[in-house]
Amino acid sequence: MAYAVIHFLEGTDPKATLCRLSEGQPTGENGVMNLLGEFINEWSATVVREGSPGALRIAMLFTAREQEAGREVRVLGGEGPLGISAEEVQALEGNGYMYEVNFGAPGERSLPTIRSRGVGRPGEGVE
């Protein structure tokens, strides 16, 4: 079982952080990299035309799509049923993967990028 932490950035400014509680691996049918890439290709041009790099809007739209697909996603630091704390994320079991989705700084014309890496626990390696 794998979990994912997904940071949505505009340049170096974090806009939202999501946590997918299962199926957080990068590849495969429900792999995060595959789904994020497809989703960003589908939505980023529309969001950018609306006048924003779009990190927060894309994070909100991605959360809605994940919920519609039956995948449990939470908002790090959020409140209510969608919220999850940093402590709860640290307590998750299985391999963790970190994703950074960067839309560039406001006013900068750039394509969104996605980077991923495994997350290790103190004293543990990542498979």
Rounded to an integer, the average pLDDT of 77-106 is 92
Asked if residues 57 and 103 have their Cβ atoms less than 8 Å apart, the reply is no
pLDDT tens string 52-64:
667 888 899 999 9
Q: What is the pLDDT of residue 113?
A: 87
CA distances from 124 to 3, 45, 67, 127 (A): 16, 40, 31, 9
CA distances from 90 to 82, 95, 96, 107 (A): 17, 11, 9, 35
Q: Are 126 and 94 in contact, with CB atoms under 8 Å apart? A: no
Q: How far is Cα 101 from Cα 47, in angstroms, rounded to an integer?
A: 14
pLDDT of residue 104: 84
Give pLDDT tens digits for 4-43.
999 999 989 999 999 999 999 999 888 999 899 898 888 7
